[in-house]
Structures are given as structure tokens and as C-alpha cells.
Amino acid sequence: MVQEWRRGDYVISTDKSRLDLVVIHNFLTNSYWAPGIPMEVVRRSIDHSLAFGVYKGDAQVGFARVITDYATFAYIGDVFILEEFRGQGLSKWLMEVIAAHPDLQGLRRWLLLTRDAHGLYRKTGFTEPRTPERYMEKFFPDVYERAEKE
């Protein structure tokens, strides 16, 4: 079910048909966490996530997605507000909307990764892992570069 939240001139919506894939791809392909990400990967990642678009009028100005089983776990990724719209509390509002989303209540664990936005995420209850020694990962930082060469 599509949901929307309004604040002044801005709207946050879970309507995937409103998402501007070009805006999302352009941001992500230049981000520190997904450099060179192919458009098809962006499309597929959105198809399999609960997506949140932030809009001013018809223009998309922000985005985040949640990968979840809707029962026990959620991973928040690809969070951004376009630079010219920062400083208005939009990222904090976006995180508050995500944290309060009715389909994401009662989850046992939420996870995200960030290089430099710890303060933002702390405002919605995130902390450093209590048991980092339990976390393991498989990480392929150059996966998009390798795929491009093949």
C-alpha cells in the first residue's frame, strides 16, 4: 500500500512509480558507497525494497530504501538528499518516517552502514553494534567495475 507524508512543500512517498531512476542513479553512481553502479542494478534494488522518495513538487530531491523481511530485520541503504536541498531537516524527517513506518514495527534488528552520518542516524536510535565481533561480511568494492569490463 502506497503511503505519503507531507511537510510544507515536501512529500515523502512509497509510490515506486513516482521515483526518478535517473536522479537516483546519478546520485548513487557518484556516491562513495556505489561508484559506477549500473542502472539495471539500481532498478533491481528498488524492485526488491521498500522505497521512499522525497519530493518537492514533482521533483525528486531525496531517497532511501529498506531491505526487509517485514518480520524480524531491516537494512536501510542508499539514503540521500540532493545537496541543494540539504540543511532543511529532510534527512532527519526521512529517517523518522522510515522508523515509524507501520510495516516496519516490531522488528528485532535494524542495520545500516555509514561513513560520515552517524549523528543523523543516532537521532533515530541507531548506535554502534553492541557485538561487532559477531558481524561478518563478504565485500566486493569493485563489483561494478569488474562487471563493466566483462
Q: What is the pLDDT of residues 64-90, one digit of tens each?
A: 999 999 999 999 999 999 999 999 999
Query: How many distinct structural domains can be found in the chain?
Result: 1
Task: Quote the cell numbers at residue 125.
Answer: 536510535
Range of the domain at 87: 4-149
pLDDT value at residue 145: 78
To the nearest whole percent, how much of the chain has pLDDT over 70?
Answer: 97
27-68 pLDDT, tens digit each: 999 999 999 999 999 999 999 999 999 999 999 999 999 999
Digit-coded pLDDT (tens) for 79-134: 999 999 999 999 999 999 999 999 999 999 999 999 999 989 999 999 999 999 99
Q: Domain of 111: which CATH number?
A: 3.40.630.30
Would you say 129 and 137 are in contact if contact means Cβ atoms under 8 Å apart?
no
How would you class 120 by CB atoms within 10 Å of its CB: exposed for 0-12, middle for 13-18, buried for 19 or more?
middle
Across the chain, which distance is largest between two alpha carbons, in Å?
A: 47
Write down the mean pLDDT value for the chain.
94
